[in-house]
Chains A and B, each alone.
Chain A
Amino acid sequence: MLVKTGQGDRQAFAMLYQATSAKLFALALRILASRDLAEEALQDAYVKIWHSADTYREDKAAVMTWMTAIVRNRCIDLLRASPREQGLHEDQSFDDWASEDLGPMEAAATQSDTKALLRCMSQLAPKQRQAFALSYFHGLAHEQLAQQLAQPLGTVKTWLRRGLETLKNCMGGVK
């Protein structure tokens, strides 16, 4: 589908948009917590996708990774540029990622690899998952994470490092 987009096929692009926009809009909304900003980010991202598609040749899963990266990067840029960056909204504390119940995420997942990652994430401590979510959805570095989670810097660094090692071991077995 994406290959056709590269050849200037507008119809294929429309279908690509249909197939991916709801997931990517959810991502933008999660990062930016504002419909207006999320729409702006998505608009910029799809324009970029259209212009860069001719350079992209990969399998379907890789295409989604690539598009997700474009949307996330654009959103994080917008987040940094907005005055809101000082503090996260209350509804953006990502407490749900610290929950023991990963059922809602399992229900939302559309790719089998996502379900595999979730199984691996269930091995992490709730706070580790929350740190991952804050990093991924807000691009928070170690110091900001420590502040947000009210933990010493060393603790947060260890959570991330060990958490990522756990994931690597867990998913490395799948690979």
Chain B
Amino acid sequence: MRYDDPKTRDALAAEYALGSLKGAARKRFEALSSKRTDWQLAAKWWLSRLHLLADMLPAIAPREQLWQAIEKRLFGAKSSVSRWANWWPSLALVSSGMAAALVLFIVTSEPQIIEVPVEVAAKEAPAPVALLADAEHKAAWMLTLAKDNNGQPELRMATMSGVKPVSNKSYELWILPPDKSAPISVGLMPLQGKHHRVVSEKVATLLLEGALAVTLEPVGGAPNGIPTGKVLYQGQLTQI
């Protein structure tokens, strides 16, 4: 075989990346690429493209227990940092797919909904945005963390079509701190229209660092400042 022929090299690299190159041929390819940069580059080029075949499958979230099993295997029994630790890994939704959906939403959404980040963008760097969505990726609220006229951090909430109507209950927003300590309430969520709320610098920082979750609570919010309902919507502030 003429190993200096780029066509041969590319053909073998392609079948190596695809997985159809087997046995002795595969070993020969690996031996050659360990010595030759051009063969390595050809394999890398093909691997970076053919592994995109996996991106053509619709995402399927694994069971929550899988994350717990991985943590246990890596970090042992001490993995439960706090009793909130088990609450946290259920947030499998903040996925790359979700981020892509967020970008797509910003691009395709109607002008009146996108007006919030745009007016901020005119003055300064774009404000971080989050979509809070349910398990089916249906967005219920869009959040932006902006500054009010006095320079105070302000959380703006725009209600979207994904909010399920409730009676005699309230939706409450929580920050799940990265250190897995107890969730911090940020108050109730609107059921329609747009609302905004000035928050402290400390809460603003926490909003950016943590994951965000919405639970259904008794009217007026969780009585003891601890979430009682399960997470219905979740998201994370992202700089777009």
Write the residues of chain A forming the contact surface with B, with a CB cutoff of 8 angstroms: 10-11, 14-15, 17-27, 29-30, 38-39, 42-43, 46-47, 50, 61-62, 64-65, 68-69, 71-72, 76, 104-105, 107-111, 113-114, 117-118, 132-133, 135-142, 145, 160-161, 164-165, 167-168, 171
| C-alpha gap A17/B66 in the complex (Å) | 10
Contact with A along B58-92 (1 / 0, CB 8 A): 11111100110111011100000000000011011
Top 4 closest pairs, chain A to chain B, by CB? A22-B59, A141-B22, A105-B56, A164-B14
Is the CB–CB distance between B89 and A14 below 8 Å?
yes
Is the CB–CB distance between A160 and B20 below 8 Å?
yes
By beta carbon, the residue of chain B nearest A129 is B53
| C-alpha gap A107/B70 in the complex (Å) | 30
Name the B residues within 8 Å of A21 (CB-CB).
61-62, 66-67, 92, 95
Chain B interface, DSSP helix/strand/loop, else mixed: helix
Write the residues of chain B forming the contact surface with A, with a CB cutoff of 8 angstroms: 10-11, 14-15, 18-23, 47-63, 66-67, 69-71, 73-75, 88-89, 91-97, 99-100, 178-180
Name the B residues within 8 Å of A110 (CB-CB).
55, 59, 96-97, 100
Given contacts A18-B91, A18-B92, contact A113 B59 (CB under 8 A): no
Closest approach, in angstroms, between the C-beta of B203 and any C-beta of chain A?
Answer: 19
Name the B residues within 8 Å of A20 (CB-CB).
95-96
By beta carbon, the residue of chain B nearest A118 is B56
Known A17-B67, A25-B59; further 6 A-B contacts with Cβ < 8 A: A19-B94, A43-B66, A64-B51, A64-B55, A109-B56, A136-B19
**Number of residue pairs spanning A and B whose beta carbons lie under 8 angstroms apart:** 157
Closest approach, in angstroms, between the C-beta of B16 and any C-beta of chain A?
Answer: 11
Name the B residues within 8 Å of A160 (CB-CB).
15, 18, 20
Is the CB–CB distance between A68 and B61 below 8 Å?
no
Interchain CB contact (< 8 A) of B52 among A17, A47, A114, A137: A114
Interchain CB contact (< 8 A) of B55 among A10, A109, A132: A109
| C-alpha gap A18/B51 in the complex (Å) | 20
| C-alpha gap A15/B100 in the complex (Å) | 16
Name the B residues within 8 Å of A15 (CB-CB).
94
Is the CB–CB distance between B60 and A22 below 8 Å?
yes
Is the CB–CB distance between A72 and B51 below 8 Å?
yes
Is the CB–CB distance between A23 and B48 below 8 Å?
no
Name the A residues within 8 Å of B56 (CB-CB).
105, 108-109, 114, 118
| C-alpha gap A115/B32 in the complex (Å) | 32
By beta carbon, the residue of chain A nearest B42 is A168
Given contacts A113-B52, A132-B53, A167-B49, contact A161 B11 (CB under 8 A): yes
Given contacts A23-B57, A133-B53, contact A168 B178 (CB under 8 A): no
